[in-house]
Amino acid sequence: MNCDIDGDLENQVEMEEKTRLINQVLELQHTLEDLSARVDAVKEENLKLKSENQVLGQYIENLMSASSVFQTTDTKSKRK
């Protein structure tokens, strides 16, 4: 009878360990899914910001070229 109890106890411990491991794997899968979704969102935001930066850069460049303050001057002609 002792052998039966020991065997049942071992089986129960193994089942609990398997259940714990399965739950841990499932939790890690959910975490991975969440992280993957976050990476996708960050990539999308990064592309959007790059595009906005290009537009702003072009706008600033256009403003600078239209402004006389940023125009290149000939220093030799000013000295004479």
And the tokens for 30? 């959910």
The better pLDDT of the pair 74, 14 is held by: 14
Report how far residue 22's alpha carbon sits from residue 12's, in angstroms, rounded to the nearest whole number.
Answer: 15
- Give me the count of residues in the chain: 80
Q: What is the pLDDT of residues 17-49, one digit of tens each?
A: 999 999 999 999 999 999 999 999 999 999 999
Q: What is the pLDDT at residue 73?
A: 60
The residue ranges of every structural domain in the chain are 1-68
Confidence of residue 60 (pLDDT cuts 50, 70, 90): very high
Whether the CB-CB separation of 64 and 70 falls below 8 Å is answered with yes
For 6-41, b where at least 16 C-beta lie within 10 A, e where not — what string?
Answer: eeeeeeeeeeeeeeeeeeeeeeeeeeeeeeeeeeee
